[in-house]
Amino acid sequence: MEGTSRRTFLRRTVATSLAIPLSASFGPFAVIASRPKSRVAQVVRPGLLGGKGFAAAARIPASSLVPLVEEAVRAATGISDIQTAWMTLVRPKDVIGIKVNALAGPGLSTRPALADAIAQSLQKAGVPAGNIILWDRSSAELKRAGYPLSTAKDRVRCFGSDSLPLPYERTPEAAGSIGSCFATLVSRYCTALINIPILKDHDLSGVSLGMKNFYGAIHNPNKYHDNCCDPFIADLSTHPHLRGKLRLVVVDGLAGQYHGGPSLKPQWGFPFEGLLAGADPVAVDRIGALIIEEQRKAHKMKSLAEDGRPPRFIATAARLGLGTDQPDEIEWKKI
């Protein structure tokens, strides 16, 4: 590669390989029409971390998480055969972007082993490895969080949006109060998205779960943190690049954090030892927020609303028709 910088080489390689076609404190519940219940699967394996929290979560191999992932997918879809369950969500020809969250670095980022386990399960269901991309906004952040970068088109790929020749679209697109340039990964390349955030609280939005994880899909997320990020998180999620491609949310709850987020604060961590999964992003965020609130209460902390940061964007998203935040319209399936 003499005469060619490493970054230039990476951009060219990536471009070439991508040529493959519940509680009231959260704010008022949205008033929505009657609909079938949204299923949120909670799959927990007690003792998985041995009570050790973040350090233990980082050591779990992908092979140990594949059964947990597959149980979550079966429970979320209501289909016992894992291949059939996956094929109700994606197709082998899809280019599937698995959106992780690597912002907080080691400890409080989506665990690489979980992303790998989802990729392994998808391949067992018939999705070619080269059609699966693990991604976030920055290759450097991914590497810092423990992800091995890869752009080989015959393997599961892993890289940041910034590694592409055109990381973001040149022209902003509107979605309610949002005006942003979207990552070309979601606008041009990926035909289906699986969102795997971390179970954690956030010092401005109250919680940072599935919907907020898509702040990593736009060029200017720093502009959208006022008023507890409401209505910005919800508005962003209405855009067709996200709403039209999102197939499943799988929350990494191996070890979560109920205070001090979005950065790692181990003193407020807890070993949840499981996953949340569902196709309704609003319902998944509602259940995740409730779990965080329960942890805060158990540790004699103020509720998120009392702390001045209620995750009101969840109710806003429900009013926008993105899903339901109504407890009696959510089937919270605990396994």
Backbone region of residue 50 per phi and psi (left: phi > 0; alpha: psi in -120 to 50; beta: other values): left
Side-chain half-sphere CA neighbours of 78 within 13 A: 7
CATH number of residue 321's parent domain: 3.40.50
What dihedral angle (degrees, nearest 10) is formed by the CA atoms of 78, 82, 84, 89? 70
Q: How far is CA 238 from CA 55, 272, 286, 316, in A?
A: 36, 30, 17, 11
Pairing assessment for the beta strands 173-175 and 178-180 based on DSSP bridges: antiparallel
How many contiguous H segments (helices) and E segments (strands) does the chain have? 12, 13
Indicate whether 8 belongs to any domain: no
* pLDDT recorded at residue 34: 53
Residue 24 lies in a domain: no
Residue 158 one-letter amino acid: C
pLDDT of residue 51: 75
Strands in the chain per DSSP E: 38-44, 96-99, 132-136, 157-160, 173-175, 178-180, 192-195, 198-202, 206-208, 246-257, 269-270, 274-278, 330-334
pTM for the full predicted model: 0.91
Residue 34 forms part of a structural domain: no
| Residue 292, domain member (yes or no) | yes
- What pLDDT, on a 0 to 100 scale, did the predictor assign at position 225? 97
DSSP assignment of 90-124: --TTS-EEEE---TT-TTSSPPHHHHHHHHHHHHH
Give the pLDDT confidence score for residue 23 in this predicted structure: 39
The verdict on residue 22 lying in a domain is no
Residues near 48 by Cβ (< 8 Å), separated by ≥ 6? Answer: 60, 254, 271, 273, 274
In a domain, 15, yes or no: no
Handedness of CA 280, 276, 154, 9 (dihedral sign): positive
Give a yes or no: residue 210 inside a domain.
yes
Walk along the chain (335 residues) and give the pLDDT tens digit of each residue: 434 444 444 444 444 445 444 433 444 445 444 568 999 999 999 999 987 889 999 999 999 999 999 999 999 999 999 999 999 999 999 999 999 999 999 999 999 999 999 999 999 999 999 999 999 999 999 999 999 999 998 999 999 999 999 999 999 999 999 999 999 999 999 999 999 999 999 999 999 999 999 999 999 999 999 999 999 999 999 999 999 999 999 999 999 999 999 999 999 999 999 999 999 999 999 999 999 999 999 999 999 999 999 999 999 999 999 999 999 999 999 99
The number of folded domains in the chain is: 1
| pLDDT score, position 36 | 81
Task: List the one residue out of 71, 125, 115 whose CA is nearest residue 94.
Answer: 125
Its domain, for residue 257, covers 41-334
**Is residue 9 in a domain?**
no
3-state class (DSSP) for residue 212: helix
For residue 53, the model assigns a pLDDT of 84
